Amino acid sequence: MASVWFWIVAVMIAAYAVLDGFDLGAGAIYLIAAKTNDERRRVLRAIGPVWDGNEVWLLTAGGTLYFAFPRIYASSFSGFYLPLMIVLWLLILRGIGIEFRAHIDNTVWQDFFDVVFSVSSILLAVFFGAALGNVIRGVPLDSTGYFFEPLWVSFKLEERIGILDWYTALTGVMALVTLAAHGSYYIGLKTDEDLGRRARGLALLCWPVQFFLTFMTLVSTYFVRPEIMDNYRQHKAGLLIPAVVVVCLGIMLWANPKGKEKLAFAASSLYITFMLVGAAFATYPVMLPARDHRYDLTIYNSAAGAHGLSVGLVWWIFAAVLAVGYFVFMYWMFRGKVQLEGGH
Amino acid sequence: MDSALLIHRIHFAFTATFHYLFPQLTMGLALLIVVLKTIGLRRNDPIYHQAARFWAKIFGINFVLGVVTGIPLEFQFGTNWSHFSRYAGGVIGQTLAMEGMFAFFLESALVGLFLFGEKRLSPKGHWWTAVAVFAGSWLSGYFIVATDAFMQHPVGYYTDADGNLQLASFWAFLLNRWAGWQYAHTMCGAVTTGAFVMTAVGAFYMLSGKFLEHARVFIKIGVITGCLFSVLQIVPTGDRQGKLVTDLQPVTLAAMEGLFQGQEGAPLVIVGQPNEEQGKIDNPIVVPKMLSMLTYRRWNANVRGLDAFPRQDWPGNIPLLYYSYHIMVGLGTFFIAIMALSGLLLWSGKLYSARWMMWILLLSAPFPYIANTAGWMTAELGRQPWVVYGLMRTADGYSKFVSAGNGMFTLLGFMGMYMVLGILGLFLVWREIEHGPDSDQLVELNAAEAV
């Protein structure tokens, strides 16, 4: 039962990364891709009806982690105290950046919120990538089951480590580039004319960087945590996951210049999903690895009671079906390329 | 008190209190907007449709602020209260996750359609989105109250081999009797805020001589709703909530009421300052025997005072608890008086021309916010010194590995950021009020990108 919840949490995080990923990415390229006020309004309209719902996946993934693995929720949230608080501030700034910009038709007001929205999106992408890097690298858990990391110590992987070191900085940049590309595919898909062309051009620019960083990250991960390969050695079928990742990268490169926007976006979504599923597959059954493996938090030593997990599964499935229904309905309602009807 | 403990307590209290300024209005308005839209549909009256659109804009601004200030709360259980989370997460994690899965998904998906989809949907379809937003926000409220109810009165759990709490009975936990009355009481409070704000905006237009037709609708709907819910606030919900405190947290009752010595025929203190050092109320004005009557329904019943309980189980901050409670009850009584008087004037057809009453209604708008805040302070200060009543002390629940310095850093960050949010929110709401409700333009034309 704990395994089921491990995969539910992993899938929810992947859903968050794919869904909020494109609106974070749209924010990251916003100032470059959208030059005029009309173009900026179109970007915001492309993500406007959906960003809040996308962000709910983060909350529900957190909530699900809380009740299924309270020990991991408690350790990781308090251990990552500083970056999480900064993430919260950025989420607040980004939310009001998106929502309040259009309330006042004044360039100073709008320029201000444009920068707030874009900078917070960029920083969020980096922080989420660094957080993921921390979870893969391992954290300084001890016998108390808790840890605390300052933001950085020396950027080397030594005895005392911080949130940011060379490895997690790499995963942070990797996340930024991946989401910038993902957002570009989305904006390319949802808009046309100069804006859509510029977004597709940016995606093309991102591709070699993304390819290089994917390779770098996978190689560094092996050096930072060699046991990451154990599960792949034992279950050869797992090697399908990196194979899908490579195929997706290929499709992205091929589909984008051909104007197959939907395919490129779908490949980018699958790429993100399979990168995360690959990481989850590698760490299973460990959920929060410790630098000293005696103190790993696993699905076995951290799961909530059996009754809670079974009851939870009943309502979770019910609620998840409803949620998927709302999402399909919402995306269908706002389908097609964004038009600015009427305008100002 | 340990300074890290104090900072983590203020951290949660500050962010939760600020957050709740927004949901109390949006939950109240969600109901009122459904009422406006229903009447608008039935009578085919454009004024009601415009009124609904106007309040949807106010709702939208407050909803955004509620969302962005609500996310930190979900995180802070883990970041600032990790020992509590590890201990109780197996139980209260359920309701917090359910809130996200059932309420947030529904709300976030449909609020966009509700606010900006009026043109894309049929009038009936749009009415349904308003109902869905109402249902989502009220559902969300229940899960939060049920979580708090477990902390106030833990039920449906067992203690596992590691000493942590786990879920034993889902339904006992979800249908905690504390949650039922607390939820009803909280929701009445939210509708009271919505009703007072709607009435105050109507009164403002009346006094300014603008948008008079809309002002009449706001005032009429606000006063009728306000009459109903300010009474429900006290009877039965407040009364029954008080009874639960009497039965399940008797030491809290004694502290709230400032009853230092237990006695038969205990008086109800209306005015007076608790003097903890000397164990008495300074310059008291009391209603004799009333407390016994309210708590045990007998004039001569014995009510236990603080002296009946060991000192270490007393709520830590008795004066603040006492004042929060008295402010809440005092304002609740004041709301009934104002709304009853306005209701009478409305019934006799004199309300709209009574400028003095318009002034009172306008100036009353902030008070439901104070009353709701004071009510939550009563509940949470009254729970002290426990984080889970009778099971875990607050001093054992905070994140021991997050230092006071790091806690202070983020507390100051939130204070600065929330001050900016508060100013922005007031500014934008004021602009909408100034702009007025008489636009027939559907919102999508000018604000779809602002979802």
Task: Annotate B193-240 with DSSP letters as a single string.
Answer: HHHHHHHHHHHHHHHHT-SHHHHHHHHHHHHHHHHHHHHHIIIIIIHH
ipTM for this prediction: 0.91
Contacts of A37 in chain B (CB under 8 A): none
Residues B256 and B273 in one domain: no
Q: How far apart are CA B398 and CA B396, in angstroms?
A: 6
Instruction: Find the CB nearest B64 among A71, A73, A96.
Output: A96
Of the listed ranges A207-216, A237-246, B234-243, B440-449, the one predicted with least confidence = B440-449
Contacts of B96 in chain A (CB under 8 A): 63, 66-67
What local confidence, expressed as pLDDT, does residue B376 receive?
Answer: 96
Residue of A nearest to B398 (CA): A78
Distance in Å, alpha carbon of B125 to nearest chain A alpha carbon = 13
Residue of A nearest to B114 (CA): A49
Residues B319 and B342 in one domain: yes
Contacts of A11 in chain B (CB under 8 A): none
Residue of A nearest to B410 (CA): A85
What is the pLDDT averaged over residues A32-61?
A: 91
A78/B402 Cβ within 8 A: yes
Torsional class of B211: left (φ above 0), alpha (ψ -120 to 50), beta (otherwise): left
Residues B133 and B204 in one domain: yes
Contacts of A311 in chain B (CB under 8 A): 94, 167, 170
A344/B64 Cβ within 8 A: no
Q: Which of these three, B250, B285, B303, is where a domain ends? A: B303
Q: Going along A205-283, which residue ranges are E strands?
A: none
Phi, psi of A147 (to 5 degrees): -155, 170
Q: How many domains does chain B have?
A: 2
Q: How far apart are CA A101 and CA A44, in angstroms?
A: 9
Of the listed ranges A158-162, A204-208, A265-269, B392-396, the one predicted with least confidence = A158-162
Distance in Å, alpha carbon of B99 to nearest chain A alpha carbon = 8
For B79, other C-beta atoms within 10 Å of its C-beta total 28
Per-residue pLDDT at A241 exceeds 70: yes
Residues B122 and B271 in one domain: no
pLDDT tens-digit profile of B198-224? 999 999 999 999 999 999 999 999 999
Residue of A nearest to B397 (CA): A74
Residues B206 and B321 in one domain: yes
Below-50 pLDDT ranges, chain B = 443-451
What single letter denotes the amino acid at residue B160?
D
Residue of A nearest to B68 (CA): A92
Residues B299 and B440 in one domain: no
Q: Which of these three, B274, B303, B332, is where a domain ends? A: B303
Identify the residue whose tokens are 């999106």: A121
A312/B97 Cβ within 8 A: yes
Q: How far apart are CA B450 and CA B444, in angstroms?
A: 9
Residues B323 and B290 in one domain: no
Asked if the C-beta of B243 comes within 8 angstroms of chain A's C-beta atoms, the answer is: no
Residues B246 and B322 in one domain: yes
Asked if the C-beta of B413 comes within 8 angstroms of chain A's C-beta atoms, the answer is: yes
Mean per-residue pLDDT over chain A, rounded: 90
If you compute the radius of gyration of chain B from its CA atoms, what whole number of angstroms results? 23
Residue of A nearest to B111 (CA): A49
For B12, other C-beta atoms within 10 Å of its C-beta total 20
Instruction: Find the CB nearest B68 among A42, A95, A307.
Output: A95
A311/B94 Cβ within 8 A: yes
Contacts of A190 in chain B (CB under 8 A): none
Distances (CA, A) of B398 to B82, B87, B128: 6, 11, 43
If you compute the radius of gyration of chain A from its CA atoms, what whole number of angstroms results? 20
Identify the residue whose tokens are 């009355």: B181
Q: How far apart are CA A196 and CA B201, in angstroms?
A: 44
Asked if the C-beta of B338 comes within 8 angstroms of chain A's C-beta atoms, the answer is: no
Q: How far apart are CA B268 and CA B248, in angstroms?
A: 20
For the purposes of burial, counting CB atoms within 10 Å of the CB of A211, is it exposed (0-12), middle (13-18) or buried (19 or more)?
middle
Contacts of B78 in chain A (CB under 8 A): 62, 66, 73-74, 76-78
Which of B 80-99 lie inside 8 A of A, CB atoms?
Answer: 80, 82-83, 85-94, 96-99
Six token digits for residue B46: 């454009």
Residues B308 and B296 in one domain: no
Instruction: Find the CB nearest A78 among B101, B401, B446.
Output: B401
What local confidence, expressed as pLDDT, does residue B445 receive?
Answer: 37
Residue range of the domain that includes B65: 3-262+304-450
pLDDT tier, A158 (very low <50, low <70, confident <90, very high otherwise): confident
B174-202 exposure pattern, b = at least 16 Cβ within 10 A, e = fewer:
bebebbbbbbbbbbbbbbbbbbbbbbbbb
Instruction: Find the CB nearest A327 among B109, B166, B451.
Output: B109
Per-residue pLDDT at A344 exceeds 80: no
Q: How far apart are CA A305 and CA A320, in angstroms?
A: 22
pLDDT tier, A341 (very low <50, low <70, confident <90, very high otherwise): low
| Long-range contacts of the stretch A315-322 (C-beta < 8 A, 24+) | A315/B98, A315/B101, A315/B102, A316/A8, A316/A64, A316/B97, A316/B101, A319/B98, A319/B101, A319/B102, A319/B105, A320/B101, A322/B102, A322/B105, A322/B106
Asked if the C-beta of B423 comes within 8 angstroms of chain A's C-beta atoms, the answer is: no
Residues B46 and B152 in one domain: yes
Contact B241, B185 (CB under 8 A): yes
A266-304 exposure pattern, b = at least 16 Cβ within 10 A, e = fewer:
bbbbbbbbbbbbbbbbbbbebbbbbbeeebbbbbebbbb
Residue of B nearest to A45 (CA): B449
Instruction: Find the CB nearest B399 among A78, A96, A316.
Output: A78
Q: How far apart are CA A131 and CA A82, in angstroms?
A: 11
Residue of A nearest to B160 (CA): A305
Q: Which of these three, B303, B331, B364, is where a domain ends? A: B303
Of the listed ranges A149-158, A317-326, B315-324, the one predicted with least confidence = A149-158
What local confidence, expressed as pLDDT, does residue B449 receive?
Answer: 40
What local confidence, expressed as pLDDT, does residue A343 receive?
Answer: 43
Per-residue pLDDT at A342 exceeds 80: no
What is the pLDDT averaged over residues A331-342?
A: 79
A77/B77 Cβ within 8 A: yes
Distance in Å, alpha carbon of B409 to nearest chain A alpha carbon = 9
Asked if the C-beta of B172 comes within 8 angstroms of chain A's C-beta atoms, the answer is: no
Residues B170 and B299 in one domain: no
A312/B86 Cβ within 8 A: no
Return the number of CB contacts < 8 Å for A and B. 237
Residues B396 and B382 in one domain: yes
A180-204 exposure pattern, b = at least 16 Cβ within 10 A, e = fewer:
bbbbbbbbbbbbeeebbebbbebbb
Contacts of B86 in chain A (CB under 8 A): 70-71, 73-75, 145
What local confidence, expressed as pLDDT, does residue B277 receive?
Answer: 87
How big is the CA angle at A238 (ends A237 and A239), to the nearest 5 degrees? 90
Instruction: Find the CB nearest A91 among B71, B78, B447.
Output: B71
Q: Is the dihedral of CA A214, A217, A220, A222 positive or negative?
A: negative
Residue among A29, A11, A15, A8 at smallest CA distance from A188: A29
What local confidence, expressed as pLDDT, does residue A192 receive?
Answer: 87
A44/B167 Cβ within 8 A: no
How big is the CA angle at A230 (ends A226 and A235), to the nearest 5 degrees? 150
Say which DSSP state A36 is in.
S
